Amino acid sequence: MKDLIIDNEEAMVGAGKMLGSTTKPGDVFALVGDLGAGKTHFTKGLVHGAGCESSVTSPTFPLLHEYLQGKFPIYHFDFYRINSVHELIDIGWDDYTETDGICVIEWADKFPEIIPKSATWFQFSIENNGSRIIQKINSP
| Domain harbouring 88, CATH code | 3.40.50.300
pLDDT at 1 exceeding the cut of 70: no
d(CA 3, CA 26): 24
pLDDT (0 to 100) of residue 114: 95
Give pLDDT tens digits for 67-105. Answer: 998 889 999 999 998 999 999 999 899 999 988 899 999
Domain interval for residue 127:
4-137
Q: What is the DSSP letter of 33?
A: E
**What mean pLDDT comes out for the span 51-58?**
83
How many domains does the structure of the chain reveal?
1
d(CA 140, CA 138): 6
